[in-house]
A and B are shown apart, each in its own frame.
Chain A
C-alpha cells in the first residue's frame, strides 16, 4: 500500500517520543541536573532526549581532553616555584602554528644560558590545541589543560598568555590527569632509583 513506508517511519518517531516520557518518568528527579543523569545520557543505553543543558549542566571531560597548554611548576620546600621547563625549545619547534615564544634566561655574570625560561608566551588565538607540545616535551613541563571556557572581552589584552598566566602547580596537573601523572611519576621514580643505585655502587667502589 502506498504510504506504508511513511507509516513505518512515523512509528519510529512515535516510539522515540513515548520513550522520552517513559524515560523521564522512570528516572524522575535523577535524569537532569545531576552527574549520574549526565553520565546516563551519554551512555550506550541512552534513550529519549540526550542533550545536555549547557551551561547549567556540563559534560565531564575525559582525562585526555586537550585545550590550551599550561606550564607545570613544583613548589620547593622554601616556598619558591621551580619551573619544570628548561627552555630547551622543543615545544616551540614542534608547534604547528608556531604560537609559542620562549625567552631563555641567561646567567647575569657569565652570560651563558640557564635552563629556565625568563618568559614564555602562547598566543591562544593561534593555538590549534593539537597537543604536540605536551607530547614531545622531554621534561613533562608543558601539559594540556581542561578549562575550555576562556571567553574574554578583549582579545588584544588577554589572549597572549605569559608565563605567569600559564603556570600551574604540579598538584593541579595530578588532579586533572591522574593516570598520566601516576604513569610519569612511576617512570621518574624508577629512573631515580636506578641513578641512586648507580651512585651507591660508585661510592662503594670508591670506598674500596
Chain B
C-alpha cells in the first residue's frame, strides 16, 4: 500500500473525527497530528477499520523551544506496506497523554520508557513504572534540559579538543558536581533500591491476587537474576510461583543502561555509526544498516548508494544473520542444559564469518562498516575467496549437520514443544518482531513487507512456522539461515564491479525533518527514528530495539509454565542486553 492511499484513508478518519486529526505540515514530516483527547478512539479505528494492527514504535521527542513533548507512533499493517505515523503533543511541564496499551498491548514497555526518559504520564497504563532508570532517580534524562554527569557541552565536537588541546581524564570532572540533580536520598542507596522494589512487588502481588491463593500452598516470589547464567547478561526476572508454576513475572532491566540515545543526540550524524555497533553487539552490521538507512532517507537525493555497495550491504547483513542465529541456537541449547558442545559447534562457523568481517572492516564485532552512501571499503581478495567458499560449500554443509545433530533430538523436542506458546494474534498485538513473530505463524519480514536496499531482486522465502512455541522459534532460525544462504549465494554470484562508496565527507549535513529507517535485523525489526533540525547533530535519535520490545510478551509466554521453562523461553526470544538496556 502506498502512502497516497494511506492519506486517502486517513482523510476518512479526518471526516469521522473532525478537528482531531490533521496532517503534519512541518517541512520534512509526513505524519498526522492527533488531538490527545481523541487518541485512543483514533487508534482503535485505525486498528479495527483500517487494518493498521501492528504498532512498531512509540517514542517521545522533546521540543524544548516550543515547550512541548511529542509522542510519535509508527503503525504498520501486518500484511505489509508502509508506515502510518501519528503524533500527539503535550506541554512539557505537565506531560500527560492517554495510553494506547488497551488497544496495542505492545506499547507497554515503550510507553514505560517514554515515561522514564521523558516524563510523559500515560493515563490508563496499568503499570507505569520506570524501566531503564531506577525508581527514585531524579528527573527524566532524555529531556533536553537534563545534564548528565561528566557533562561537557551540548554538542560534539567539544571545544577543548583543538587547537589548545587541554588533555584531562573525563572522570576528573566531578560526577557529583553542580551539573546533575540527584535524588535527595541518593546518599542512602539502600533506600532507593527498596523503594524501587516496593513498586515492583506491589505489582506482582496485585497480579497474583487476581489468581487467588490455593488453600494448601503459598505463593513464593523468586528473583532470577540480575546475576543468573540463563539471562545472557545482567537481566532480572521477578517471578511469583505457585509451587513450580509461574503465576506472574516481571522483567527488570536497565543494568547496562548508558543512555545511548542521549549520547546519540550529543554526537554528530557520523559519530553515531560506531555507537550503533554496541547496541546488539552480535550483529553490528544490521545495526549500521538501520541507522544508515534512516539518515539516507532524510538526506534524499544528496546521497546515492552505488550498486556494488548495495550488494555488499546485503552480503554483510545476511552473514550477520547467519552468525547471530548460530549463536542463538547454540546458546538456546546451553539453556536447555546441553552445555557447550552444540554452542561450540555453532560458534566454530561463526568464527569463520567473523574472520571475513575482520579482514574487511578491521574488527570482528564492532564493525563500523556502513557510511551514508555506501560502505567503508571493499572486500580484500582473500576474504572474498573465503566468503565464496563459505557460502557455497561449508555453511550449507554445516547447517545440515547441525540439523541432524539437534532438530530431531527427543530431549530438545520434549523441552521445547508446546512451551511458551504465543498465538498469531497475540504476537501482533504485542508488537513482537523477527523470528518470534514468524514462529507464531505471521509471515512478516521487513525485507519483504517493506523492502529496503535491493532485497526485491533476490529470490528467497519468508520463513514461517505455525505453532508459536519454543521449538518453532528454534527451528525457524535454522530455516532463516538456509534462506540467508540462498540470498548470499545469489549475491556472491551477481555482485557487479565498481566503487562501494559515493562520497565520504566528515561533516555530514542532513536536512530538517523526521525519518524512520527499519531493517529486518536478526532479532527482529530494528528501527531508528531520527529528527533533524538541519544542524550537525540529531535533534532526536531513537532506537526501536527488537530485543527490548520482544520482552513485552515474556510474561504472557511464561505464565502457567514451569520455572525451568522460563530459561528456555527467554533463550528462544534471543535477547542481547546491550540492545535491551541501551
Contacts and interface: CB of A to CB of B under 8 A. Distances in A.
Given A13-B341, A92-B162, A8 B408 contact: yes
Contacts of B358: 61-62, 64-65
A65 B363 contact: yes
Interface string B373-414: 000110010010010011001100000010011111111110
Contact of A93 (B162, B404, B405, B409): B162
B355 A42 contact: yes
Contacts of B166: 101
Point out which of B268, B393, B405, B406 has the most chain A C-beta atoms below 10 A from its C-beta: B405
B280 to A, nearest CB: 16
Contact of A44 (B271, B352, B362, B401): B352
Contacts of A98: 156-158, 161
Given A9-B406, A129-B363, A89 B162 contact: yes
Contacts of A139: none
Interface string A99-128: 011111000000001000101110101101
A172 interface: no
A12 B405 contact: yes
A21 interface: no
Given A6-B410, A6-B411, A160-B169, A130 B163 contact: no
Nearest to A13: B341
Interface in A1-17: 2-6, 8-9, 11-13, 16
A5 B380 contact: no
A66 interface: yes
Contacts of A64: 358-362, 377, 380
Contacts of A46: 348
Interface string A120-160: 11010110111110011000000010000000000010001
Contact of A63 (B272, B376, B380, B504): B380
The majority secondary structure among interface residues of chain A is mixed
Contact of B163 (A13, A100, A113): A113
A167 interface: no
B258 to A, nearest CB: 12
Interface size class of B (residues with CB under 8 A): 35 or more
A101 B275 CA distance: 20
A170 interface: no
B160 interface: yes
Given A12-B404, A64-B360, A96-B274, A121 B167 contact: yes
B506 A94 contact: yes
A95 B268 CA distance: 10
A42 B352 contact: yes
B85 interface: no
Contacts of A11: 404
A50 interface: yes
B380 A103 contact: no
A91 B377 CA distance: 19
B157 A92 contact: yes
A5 B408 contact: yes
A132 B368 CA distance: 9
B393 A44 contact: yes
Nearest to A128: B274
B366 A129 contact: yes
Size category of the A interface is 35 or more
> Which of B157, B158, B361, B383 neighbours the largest number of chain A CB atoms within 10 Å of its CB?
B157
A119 B166 CA distance: 10
Contacts of B273: 96, 130
A200 interface: no
Nearest to B163: A104
Contacts of B345: 16
Contacts of B363: 65-66, 129
Contacts of A132: 270, 274, 368, 506
Nearest to A94: B506
A59 to B, nearest CB: 9
B212 interface: no
Interface in B214-271: 267-268, 270-271
Contacts of A179: 380
Interface string A61-83: 11111100000000000000000
Contacts of B174: none
A176 to B, nearest CB: 12
Contacts of A63: 359, 380
Nearest to A63: B380
A69 to B, nearest CB: 12
Contacts of B170: 123, 126
A103 B345 CA distance: 51
Given A65-B358, A131-B368, A123 B157 contact: no
Contacts of A126: 170
B351 interface: yes
Given A6-B409, A130-B274, A103 B165 contact: yes
A143 to B, nearest CB: 11
Nearest to A103: B165
A115 to B, nearest CB: 11
Interface string A159-202: 01000000000000000000100000000000000000000000
Nearest to A162: B167
Nearest to A15: B401
B65 interface: no
Nearest to B368: A130
B164 interface: yes
B410 A93 contact: no
Contacts of A89: 161-163
Given A101-B167, A121-B167, A131-B368, A2 B270 contact: no
B157 A65 contact: no
Nearest to A43: B386
B167 A160 contact: yes
Given A64-B377, A132-B270, A50 B351 contact: yes
Given A9-B408, A50-B351, 9 more contacts: A5-B409, A9-B405, A13-B341, A62-B383, A92-B157, A94-B270, A129-B366, A130-B273, A130-B368
26 contacts: A5-B407, A5-B408, A5-B409, A5-B413, A16-B345, A62-B380, A64-B377, A65-B362, A93-B162, A95-B157, A96-B270, A96-B272, A96-B273, A98-B156, A100-B162, A101-B162, A102-B161, A121-B165, A126-B170, A128-B274, A128-B366, A129-B363, A130-B366, A132-B506, A135-B376, A160-B169
A-B pairs, top 8 by smallest CB distance, nearest first, are: A5-B408, A103-B165, A89-B162, A130-B274, A104-B163, A101-B165, A66-B362, A62-B359
